């Protein structure tokens, strides 16, 4: 089984490498179990996972994302648009499965230990679950691609998500032909890696 550091190193945001081979139920359950073991503020576990395999839903969501892609491309200056054009931004149909992670701010009632001073900690909890999911998937040789080119009300409606629950990520989850060594956005010249030393400060920012 992959070590933590190896999973962290190998993990990629996958777009073009999905094979479409179905993920066995027990593998998916292990991955979702890892997500569900994340820490959460006041132990609220405010996440849910909507596993989307219905082809019509994948199709219609992929269309919506393609629209959002066009809108973003149009907003770019020429040099950025040239860099953006070859970048694949999703693998919604090709992966064959979406896992939509949601955040329920009402879970746990009124008194949330650790959320009364910093309200966002509830939202953060659901994001921690996503990283557990991603690393467990890497350990299972399963790829994950986080799609964020969508309008939140559209996705909410599409999956029948009730208020105040909020979808925070559409993850394409599926078998991959390979994991890239270098992140797509680096390979395609969108943005490179920052040295670690630049990110570390001592005692003061």
Residues numbered 81-100 forming contacts with its own copies, rule: CB under 8 A: 84, 87, 89
Task: Give the x/- contact pattern for its own copies in 24-43, rule: CB under 8 A.
Answer: -----xx-xxx-xxxx-xxx
List the one residue from 23, 96, 134, 176 that touches its own copies (CB under 8 A): 134
Q: Which residues contact 164 (CB under 8 A, 6 or more apart)?
A: 104, 105, 106
DSSP, res 87: -
Q: Per rule CB under 8 A, is residue 60 in the interface with its own copies?
A: no
**Burial group, residue 181, by CB count within 10 angstroms (0-12, 13-18, 19+):** exposed
Q: Per rule CB under 8 A, is residue 105 in the interface with its own copies?
A: no
Q: How far apart are CA 128 and CA 118, in angstroms?
A: 16
Q: Per rule CB under 8 A, is residue 114 in the interface with its own copies?
A: yes
Task: Give me the least distance between CB of 186 and its own copies, in Å please.
Answer: 6
Task: Give me the least distance between CB of 135 and its own copies, in Å please.
Answer: 5
CA 86 to chain centre: 21
Residues numbered 40-59 forming contacts with its own copies, rule: CB under 8 A: 41-45, 47-54, 57
List the one residue from 23, 92, 136, 173 that touches its own copies (CB under 8 A): 136
List the one residue from 91, 108, 143, 174 that touches its own copies (CB under 8 A): 108
Q: Which residues contact 40 (CB under 8 A, 6 or more apart)?
A: 46, 47, 125, 126, 128, 129
Positive/negative CA dihedral, 112, 114, 117, 120 = negative
Q: Is 112 helix (H, G, I), strand (E, B) or coil?
A: coil
Q: Which residues contact 8 (CB under 8 A, 6 or more apart)?
A: 135
Task: Give the x/- contact pattern for its own copies in 142-171, rule: CB under 8 A.
Answer: ----x-xxxxx------xxxx--x--xx--
List the one residue from 17, 18, 132, 171 that touches its own copies (CB under 8 A): 132
Q: Is 24 helix (H, G, I), strand (E, B) or coil?
A: coil
Region from 15-23, 114-122, 173-181 binding its own copies, contact rule CB under 8 A? 114-122
Q: Per rule CB under 8 A, is residue 1 in the interface with its own copies?
A: yes
């Amino acid at each position: 089984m992959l070590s933590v550091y190896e999973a962290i190193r190998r993990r990629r945001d996958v777009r073009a490498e999905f094979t479409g081979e179905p993920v066995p139920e027990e593998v998916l359950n292990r991955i979702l179990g890892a997500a569900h073991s994340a820490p959460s503020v006041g132990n609220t576990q405010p996440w849910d996972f909507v596993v989307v395999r219905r082809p019509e839903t994948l199709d219609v969501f992929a269309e919506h994302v393609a629209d959002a892609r066009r809108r973003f491309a149009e907003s770019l200056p020429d040099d950025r648009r040239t860099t953006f054009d070859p970048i694949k931004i999703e693998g919604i149909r090709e992966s064959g499965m979406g896992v939509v992670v949601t955040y329920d701010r009402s879970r746990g009632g009124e008194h949330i230990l650790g959320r009364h001073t910093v309200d966002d900690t509830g939202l953060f909890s659901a994001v921690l679950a996503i990283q557990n999911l991603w690393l467990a998937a890497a350990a299972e040789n399963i790829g994950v691609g986080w799609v964020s080119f969508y309008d939140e009300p559209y996705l909410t409606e599409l999956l029948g998500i009730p208020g105040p629950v909020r979808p925070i990520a559409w993850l394409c989850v599926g078998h991959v032909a390979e994991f890239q060594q270098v992140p797509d956005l680096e390979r395609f010249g969108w943005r490179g890696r920052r040295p670690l030393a630049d990110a570390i400060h001592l005692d003061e920012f």
